[in-house]
Amino acid sequence: MVEVVEAYADTGAVAPSIELFEDVRVVRDGTPIPVQGDGRRALVALLASHAGRIVPVDRILDALWDDEPPLTAPKIIQTYVSQIRRLLEPERQDSWQTLLTRPSGYVLALEQEATDVGAFESAVVAAVHARDGATFADALARWGGEPYAGIGQTFARAEAERLAGLHREARKGWCTERIAAGAPHETLTELEILARDEPNDERVAALRMEALWRAGRRSEALRVFEELRERLADELGLDPGPDVSALHLRMLREELPAPSAPQAAPAVGAAQPPRAPLPVERTELIGREEHVRGLVRLMATEPLVTIVGPGGAGKTRVALRVAHELADAGDAGDVWWVGLAGLADPAAIPLHIARAAGMPLQLDGAPAEALAAWLSARPGMLVLDNCEHIVEPVARLVDELLTRCPRLRVLVTTRVPLHVHGERRWRIPALGLPEGDSLEALAASASGRLLLERAGRAGESFAPDMDDAAHLARVCRSLDGMPLALELAAARLAGMSASALEAGLSARFRLLTAGEVGAPSQHRTLRATTEWSYRLLDSHQRELLDRLSVFVGPAEASAVIAVCADDVVAADDIPMILADLVERSVLEHDRDRYSLLETVREFGRENLGDDAGRWEERHGAWMADVVERVGAGVQGATSEWIRELECHLLDARVAFDRALARRDVELAMQLAGRGNWALLSIGRLPLLRSWVSRSLDAAQGREVPAVLRAEVELMAGALAGLSGFPAEAHRHLGAARERFERAGDASQVLWVDYWTATVLGEQGRFSEAVELGLRAADEARRLDEGAIEANLRAGVAEVALVGALDPSGEDLLLAVADEESVRGLALCRGRRYEEAELRLESNAVLLRALDSSDDAALDECLALPARWRVFGRGPRLAVALSAVASIAFKAGREDVAAALAGETLEVLGFLGWEGPLPGVLRVAAVVGHRDDAEECARLLGAASARWSTYRWRLTPDSTAAEETMRVSLGDERYEALLAEGRARPAVVTVEAAARVLRTAASRDA
């Protein structure tokens, strides 16, 4: 670099710099010169992102051509390099000083700070070290908008996302320092936007809590914690981490200083690095300190580390401790914990990891592709726990992720290695054994400490004497220092002496070691311990324990009774037996649900032997009954039934996979067809699509009850219509109607009418949809089918409202919308059709807001999203958010419109659905065109090219914004940007819209 600077000093010129925000420009002598040509712009961006480092030619080929590069690619690169050199140094004809050729590739000989994105990155790093609000403000001032704008290659998108992550971190850092400086009010708007973007980020939640508390808004601060706790439990099955929990406790104890008081340092958790929620460590990790330290060091240099060992060796506990240490240190970036036990479908692995890591689902592209793109843009560590049962698909996915994500680290726990290139294996051995029989020797060994600590938990009065110590030392040696075996044995010390414990184990080993000489000693030990604990149970306890192994998720007592009760294990006895199993530490109990330790579950499965199929069938029948009851009940107490289904989703997945594996197509179809409305309501569209398509494929050429097949055809038609494929929807719905009519099932024919009317609405055939819906609603009334009638009238009201607003619509439809809203609400009241009632109320509220400029009508409309959030992140929430955003814009509340549209994008990402996306893009364009006319023109182009659902489609008037952009950009440029937007992939469009909306919300708040 010194040579370059001196060379320019000799000529009296200033070394060039490169700008990558918004557009690619070379700056010479203070004059920015745009780089022309997509290929040249991409190459300049690639070289600038590696400023000062050699970029190999192979890397350039891969980066510039996402697909196979043309045969002439090397020549094209040479041409680009020649043109870029003349742009950088027009006064030179050779002896180039800036873009240099090296044997392996090319290097842009500039400092990192010579690029605007590099200067921003350096400023953020400096701010993090300085921890000063002004330094963070300086870093944020260097943010120049969208980085790598208009460059579609994968490397540019990844770099843009990485920089966006740094921008978010700088915003969090600024908020941290402003709160510490006694100015919490300044941060509230920014923190609300950050929380909307990253709802599960505990650091953001902690900052919001502290800012609200210090600003005097204490109840809101406490509500932030409750909302975070509910969201983590519902979406990830996790509790808030210790930092944010400690802050919450300080608030409850009134231990925080008075509101708005200046602080010398941030409060608990405020200055911690961002961290994904990790499972809570419920007990102390004993005897694994060296392993934890070694793994932490290894993770700093190795991309893939596999913790290998037999079941019960403590792999999960060690990995959890490592994850917490790295999350606390912040060196690994985000740390994402992904439990894989019970996951059987290989195709679901990327989706499961994405959800656990908090990634919003992309609207198009395969889940694995979307996951790789998301992870490539951020440093972090994935912890994949318990993957030996799906080791091959996990290995393939890990290999792909590590190939595409250079800053990703992966820590795996498994009984068998992945056999992926570059894998470093760390075997967990047994705990250290007592070297003698004394109490001192016992306490000095890792296995002895674990046994004593866990025994103390099992019974507070446990205080071993010297004789006890000798027995316990021999127990440790008998159990080979296996942690799970020691814990199982320790649980027995609450009810038996140390000598009885040793005697029982010794007898069991004499019986079990014969015939197992070829097995590893640790496997024999764990099995022996489990077998010994098992033999101490009575016959009913053992029988129930074996049957419980067919469950993969936590199950309440009623579920256990439904699956496991018979003449041998009476239903009335099961609650007491469950309590006994919990007391004996072979069954875990949390929030009225019971679950087996994984090793014990495997043991129980082995004991079932050939009888396993019988209990799997009973488990599947129970799950089908749950799904059917949810599907029927969800029309009433919707929120309660939705929670019921979500509690059992893991078991539902396994039941479906088992059904197809044993070719039980009827059970698979029951699961796919009868809980359909509930799965739609909670937004499980990818799961539902998979079940429907797989069950229909499996039914080809097989005899299946006509009504059962029709139920799945009905669901297939509903999904096709919801996705904008009307021809496919009518085909499936026609097949369903034919079968239902043949079977004389009038109620189900009405549901076909309902979904057919929605498909007609998607096609813009509003009058036909209204006519069919009204006719079916009258028939439902005649048959006294209240729930179906309520949904039909809600559907008619929705399609009539949109039909009346459509340019080709009929004014008469507005009256129909109003009338059906009133009639439907009269039907719902008193009968508790929760979702249908809220749909009808929403329709009526939207009608009033459209027809009135009254503040009360607007406030009523703005309250709708909160009411829909109670039902989870389903399609209804998405369309409600989109509609209310449009009305907020119409009322002049652009900040609210931007915030609601941004939330809509988040929900659509979760759903993998783009029905209301065009309306959201238009909202983004009209609220953001003054900030970024070019990007908003692209958004309008994208909106015009994408299919849009009719549901509550209240599109904002974009005429004024379009005219403003056309004037400012010129007709030719404006039309070109529209065309660019129409050609963009959905994921790029959504990311651009999200950026525009964040800027607008921040500007207007």
Nearest CA-CA partner of 51 in 97, 103, 115, 124: 115
- Same domain? 881 vs 840: no
In a 13 Å sphere around the CA of 322, the CA atoms on its Cβ side amount to: 35
- Same domain? 316 vs 452: no
In the structure encoding, which two tokens stand for residue 679, read together? 């799965």
* 904 neighbors 869 (Cβ within 8 angstroms): no
* Structural domain contains residue 615: no
pLDDT at 562: 94
pLDDT at 513: 40
- Same domain? 295 vs 264: no
How many Cβ atoms are within 10 Å of 613's Cβ, its own excluded?
Answer: 13
Question: pTM of the entire structure?
Answer: 0.58
Q: Which domain holds residue 451?
A: 439-535
Nearest CA-CA partner of 47 in 104, 99, 118: 99
- Same domain? 310 vs 356: yes
Element (H, E) at 614: helix 612-633
pLDDT at 421: 84
- Same domain? 531 vs 469: yes
* 219 neighbors 281 (Cβ within 8 angstroms): no
Q: What is the DSSP string of 454-511?
A: HHHHH-TT----HHHHHHHHHHHHHTTT-HHHHHHHHHHTTTS-HHHHHHHHHHHHHH
In the structure encoding, which two tokens stand for residue 707, read together? 């009504």
- Same domain? 927 vs 953: yes
* 373 neighbors 401 (Cβ within 8 angstroms): no
* Structural domain contains residue 86: yes
Last residue of a domain, one of 427, 453, 473: 427
- How would you write 287-301 as a 3-class SS string? CCHHHHHHHHHHHCC
User: Residue 392 belongs to a domain with what CATH number?
Assistant: 3.40.50.300
- Same domain? 818 vs 683: yes
User: Residue 38 belongs to a domain with what CATH number?
Assistant: 1.10.10.10
pLDDT at 598: 63
- Same domain? 374 vs 492: no
Element (H, E) at 403: helix 391-404
Q: What is the DSSP string of 763-822?
A: TT-HHHHHHHHHHHHHHHHHTT-HHHHHHHHHHHHHHHHHHHHSTT--THHHHHHHHHHH
- Same domain? 842 vs 760: yes
Last residue of a domain, one of 77, 111, 145: 111
Mean pLDDT per 10-residue interval, the chain, length 1005 residues: 42 70 81 83 85 79 79 84 83 74 79 82 75 72 83 82 84 86 83 85 89 80 83 71 76 57 30 48 76 87 85 81 84 81 74 75 63 80 87 90 88 86 83 82 85 73 78 82 78 78 64 38 54 78 93 89 93 90 74 75 84 92 86 66 73 89 91 75 78 90 90 92 91 94 93 94 92 94 90 92 78 84 85 83 88 81 86 84 93 89 85 88 93 93 91 90 92 92 82 87 63
* Number of domains making up the chain: 6
- Same domain? 731 vs 676: yes
In the structure encoding, which two tokens stand for residue 503, read together? 């005697």
SS3 312: coil
* Structural domain contains residue 131: no
* Structural domain contains residue 636: no
- Same domain? 516 vs 402: no
* 324 neighbors 317 (Cβ within 8 angstroms): no
- Same domain? 333 vs 371: yes
User: Residue 199 belongs to a domain with what CATH number?
Assistant: 1.25.40.10
Contacts 24+ apart (CB under 8 A), 845-851: 846/801, 846/883, 846/884, 846/887, 846/952, 846/954, 847/801, 847/814, 847/817, 847/818, 847/821, 849/887, 849/891, 850/805, 850/887, 850/954
State phi, psi for 593 to the nearest 5 degrees. -125, 150
* Structural domain contains residue 589: no
Q: Which residues make beta-bridge pairs with 414?
A: 308
Distance, CA of 749 to CA of 739 (rounded, Å): 9
* Structural domain contains residue 139: no
The CA distances from residue 773 to 727, 816, 915, 950, in Å, are 19, 11, 21, 15
* Structural domain contains residue 610: no
pLDDT at 597: 66
Last residue of a domain, one of 237, 272, 307: 272
The CA distances from residue 445 to 286, 430, 480, 522, 609, in Å, are 10, 12, 12, 18, 39
* Structural domain contains residue 619: no
